[in-house]
Structure 1
């Protein structure tokens, strides 16, 4: 019994597809075989330097990664690791920049430029909070997840504690101040929400956290006013009055003529510009990294100084043309 013509056509198409798929599976792509180093360590570092000078970060990363892979104990290894850290940051690959920084810190705890790795780790974590399209949305920074800037804050604490005289310590302290304002605002956003839903205890907890942990931030007036207002709503007039007295001494305009707290005015006393612009306005200019890293010795670092120091070091008058090995 013969099949109808349309069924024979469908059968032929199905067999053709099956044959093609079988052919593809029987001819898998050839695996890429690592043939080992293609150049000497000196050539790799020279090629990386040329690529960096031209801003060709993909090529620079390729050369530095090869050097790190094939010559892990060479005289250029540590310098290559620091330069690769810089390249990843410039490519806005902050996650890998953090990983490379932590690796360098672990493997080279006594390196004279390990403070650079501590610093970049903090900056990269900080930038992860501001990277991507969220920077340009209407969602305020304080409404987002703040886990990265909390990590960055701790990174900068570690840097300053371990290397208080580091050339990056002042900038790290400035960034900590900015992060403190962001974290304080994050707490106050939660406090405002709790007041709106009449969760007075939760509101006091958030405001108290700001007073205790971020006492130098612009959110302090609102935090004190929130405590006074919330304790009054809880019926604890004595505690509420204590905070009102503090407001009278430090921020008298936040207390109304009848002695009650002016919570609306207190909310306007915060860093409104920074709160309203996702941190794009009101952020320190140094939050945008430009840079050079101090990866090399004194002589070789002169050829890197303006490119790799995050704008903290002066541009050399006569950049070196050779790149001595880092010891």
Structure 2
């Protein structure tokens, strides 16, 4: 029996709908497929390590996350957290690395590898910073970065104080020293920035901060010289002479 035009259109629409549903179902099945189903903790850990050795940090992170979720109290869980933090750092996600380190240190404050986690956290914290130590930026950006720098310094200090014999202690001390020098240099550069724009009061305030906070760095005398130059430009002769006397005392002490 011949079909009417309306019946043909209805049947065609039904076939199209059925094909769409079938395709959607096939797509959902593909998305929901998880090759790690049935893997035990050891298999997940080994596969994560293999992915990490291939620098496939995203895949490694996926396996570490599944390992922690499925076997939170197993013998691989703690190590997975440490290596997961490292994977975040290597993958360029410093913020997630810091969070993972903080979570580990809260859960396992006395873990044998806490020194390493503290060191990794400090590195990741410094990675979050913009290059403020090599360029002059606005005040609000500097203040945000100063917080990150202080956090990294405090983390390194905690490592050195809690684990003085750690294999990471020497490197932590070196990085603390470099961080102090970098902060002093940056603060001095800001003082010079104001000086070159004839904002002498602001320059003096910044330079005085270098002298007070970073007295043991080479930038302390540089800051004093800048203060002296500001007073000279402002015509404040008595204060200029006072600073000159301090500079002379410092020079005599170094001889």
Give me the TM-score of the superposition, normalised by structure 1: 0.59
User: What CA distance in whole angstroms lies between the structure 2 residues aligned with 1:231 and 1:95?
Assistant: 44
**1:94 equivalent in structure 2:** 94
Alignment check: 8 A CA contact 1:142 1:183 kept: no
Q: How does 1:58-77 map to 2 (within 5 A)?
A: 58-77=58-77
Cα drift, residue 116 of structure 1: 1.3
**1:105 equivalent in structure 2:** 105
1:143 matched to 2:139: no
**1:50 equivalent in structure 2:** 50
Deviation track 1:21-69 (CA, whole Å, cap 9, x = no partner) reads xx9xxx8985966989531111111212222333332322221111011
Larger helix proportion of the pair = 2
User: What CA distance in whole angstroms lies between the structure 2 residues aligned with 1:194 and 1:51?
Assistant: 51
User: What CA distance in whole angstroms lies between the structure 2 residues aligned with 1:122 and 1:188?
Assistant: 24
User: What CA distance in whole angstroms lies between the structure 2 residues aligned with 1:208 and 1:34?
Assistant: 63
**2:184 equivalent in structure 1:** 184
Structure 2 stretches of 5 or more lacking a match? 1-19
Cα drift, residue 206 of structure 1: 0.7
**2:152 equivalent in structure 1:** 152
User: What CA distance in whole angstroms lies between the structure 2 residues aligned with 1:200 and 1:175?
Assistant: 33
SS at structure 1 position matched to 2:175: helix
Alignment check: 8 A CA contact 1:37 1:70 kept: no
Cα distance, 1:235–1:38 mapped onto 2, change above 3 Å: farther
Cα drift, residue 103 of structure 1: 0.9
**2:242 equivalent in structure 1:** 242
**1:284 equivalent in structure 2:** none
RMSD: 3.0
User: What CA distance in whole angstroms lies between the structure 1 residues aligned with 2:112 and 2:234?
Assistant: 56
SS at structure 1 position matched to 2:104: helix
Aligned length: 221
**1:208 equivalent in structure 2:** 208
**2:164 equivalent in structure 1:** 164
SS at structure 2 position matched to 1:173: helix
User: What CA distance in whole angstroms lies between the structure 2 residues aligned with 1:42 and 1:77?
Assistant: 10
User: What CA distance in whole angstroms lies between the structure 2 residues aligned with 1:163 and 1:121?
Assistant: 15
User: What CA distance in whole angstroms lies between the structure 1 residues aligned with 2:84 and 2:95?
Assistant: 13
User: What CA distance in whole angstroms lies between the structure 2 residues aligned with 1:37 and 1:105?
Assistant: 30
Alignment check: 8 A CA contact 1:194 1:202 kept: yes
Structure number with greater Rg is 2
Alignment check: 8 A CA contact 2:194 2:202 kept: yes
Q: How does 1:276-295 map to 2 (within 5 A)?
A: none
Cα drift, residue 202 of structure 1: 1.8
Cα distance, 1:208–1:37 mapped onto 2, change above 3 Å: farther
Cα drift, residue 250 of structure 1: 4.0
* Structure showing greater relative contact order (alpha-carbon pairs closer than 8 Å, 6 or more residues apart): 1
Alignment check: 8 A CA contact 1:221 1:251 kept: no
